[in-house]
Amino acid sequence: MVTKATNLGRNGVSDWIMQRASAVILAAYTVFVVGYLLLNDVDAAMWQGLFSSLPMQIFSMLAVLAFVAHAWIGMWTVVTDYVKPIRVRYAAIMAIALILFAYLVWGVAVVFGN
Annotated binding site: 70, 82
Q: Is 7 helix (H, G, I), strand (E, B) or coil?
A: coil
Q: Which residues are annotated as a binding site for a ubiquinone?
A: 82
Distance CA 106, CA 28 (A): 21
Q: Which residues are annotated as a binding site for heme?
A: 70
Report CA-CA distances (Å) from 21 to 53, 86, 101: 24, 30, 20
Check: CB of residue 60 under 8 Å from CB of residue 51. yes
Written as one letter, the residue type at 3 is T
